[in-house]
Amino acid sequence: MPLLEDLYAQQRAKQIEILPFFYSAPFQNSTVAAGATVTVTTGIQSDSHFVCRYFTITAYASNPFLVTPVTPPLLISFFDTGSGRQLLDNPQPIQNLCGGAAAGTGNGSLPFILPEPWLIRAGAVIQTTLQNLGLLTFPTVIVSLSGFKVFKFGGAGAPGEI
């Protein structure tokens, strides 16, 4: 049974609780310089598993308060230390994984929907790597992982069984 069908069945049976949640990989103290490859880590809280359904990205130009008006030439990859698995076989252009290009931008305008949700176990650490193929430096880039937390029903602070 696909993951979402199984989770929704467990929710209806009052075995688990589902709470919408966002994690982010903020490249704020790790400037994504021209030609550089930078990795940041995002710890998944140990109170629940996380099911990631969407990715979005926002990149800021040299002024940290100005969202870049063009899609930056960045490659992205994800590694789940909890399972020891890469999400991709090779780094992908952000346009492929972090939202569509509406009006010429790829900055979170349309979230990318995973073909199947990505289950990340409680306590795992996600390593997000960006490689800048362009000539511009981005002082701040934020990658958002949108989805929901899975708790044991009535057991606040306990991951649900999946």
Tokens of 4: 């979402």
Beta strand residue intervals within the chain, DSSP E: 16-27, 37-43, 49-60, 74-80, 85-86, 92-93, 100-102, 105-110, 112-120, 125-132, 140-152
Q: For residue 133, how far is the Cα from the chain centroid?
A: 21
Measured CA to CA, the distance from residue 102 to residue 88 in angstroms comes to 24
pLDDT at 155: 61
Predicted confidence pLDDT, tens digits, the chain (162 residues): 588 898 889 899 988 889 999 999 998 876 888 899 999 999 999 989 999 999 988 888 766 677 777 778 899 999 999 889 999 999 999 888 886 555 455 455 567 888 899 999 999 999 999 999 988 888 888 899 999 999 887 665 566 566
pLDDT at 128: 96
- Full set of structural domains in the chain with CATH: 3-152 (2.60.120)
pTM of the model: 0.86
pLDDT at 108: 52
